Each structure stands twice: as structure tokens, then as C-alpha cells.
């Protein structure tokens, strides 16, 4: 999904690949796999890059919301006093 989100912002699989330091074919294949999985085209592909479809725009809005919530959840877990210390110390004791 990361490839898709960057491609949505860059409007280019080539620029996405360059930014993420992967092959362009990796971005294209990952995007196609996601499109196949959800059953809709997220991009219109053309020689100058890619353009979001209506479904792609809707997906982008929801994906941003989800990623923001995940970020908040991670921050909350990391900055909670004793954030998992009991579980971590129990795990370390049992694996020592």
C-alpha cells in the first residue's frame, strides 16, 4: 500500500520508485496487485505517468485517515507509561 500512496502523491510510478529506492516494476506490480485485490482501478495509466480514478481519490482519502489513526495508536503505545514493560520483562525472563 505504501507504493500506492506515494504514487498517488507523485502521479508517477517512476518518481515513486526513485523516492522509495525500488524498481519501477515493483511499484507497478504492487499497485496492480492491490487493484486486483480490491477489484477497482486506482489509476489511469498514461505515457506521462498516472492519474487517480474517482475510486483512487476515494481510496486515498480513506487510506490517509487509516494511516493517521495507526500513527496515533503507535504514538499512544510508545508514550504510555510502562508501555508493555511487564510483558517485555516477562518475555525476557521466559526466554533467558
pLDDT greater at residue 11 or residue 95? 11
Q: Which three cell numbers stand for residue 28?
A: 507497478
Q: Which residues pair with 46 in a beta bridge?
A: 49
**pLDDT number for residue 21:** 95
Question: What does the alpha-carbon distance between residue 92 and residue 96 come to, in Å, rounded to a whole number?
Answer: 6
The per-residue pLDDT for range 63-75, each reduced to its tens digit, is 889 988 998 899 8
In order of start, what are the domains of the chain with their CATH numbers? 2-81 (1.10.10.10)
Overall average pLDDT of the 32-36 stretch? 94
Strand partners, 43: 52
> 91 has which bridge partners?
none
Indicate if the pLDDT at residue 93 is higher than 70: no
Work out the mean pLDDT of the chain and round it to a whole number: 86
Question: Would the pTM of this model clear 0.85, i.e. be above it?
Answer: no
* pLDDT score at 40: 96
pLDDT reported for residue 79: 83
Length of the chain: 96
Amino acid at each position: 500500500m505504501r507504493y500506492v500512496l506515494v504514487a498517488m502523491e507523485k502521479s508517477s510510478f517512476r518518481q515513486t520508485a526513485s523516492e522509495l529506492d525500488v524498481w519501477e516494476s515493483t511499484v507497478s506490480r504492487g499497485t496492480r496487485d492491490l487493484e486486483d485485490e480490491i477489484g477497482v482501478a486506482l489509476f489511469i495509466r498514461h505515457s506521462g505517468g498516472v492519474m487517480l480514478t474517482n475510486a483512487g481519490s476515494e481510496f486515498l482519502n480513506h487510506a490517509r485517515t487509516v494511516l493517521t489513526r495507526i500513527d496515533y495508536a503507535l504514538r499512544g503505545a510508545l508514550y504510555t507509561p510502562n508501555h508493555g514493560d511487564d510483558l517485555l520483562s516477562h518475555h525476557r525472563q521466559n526466554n533467558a
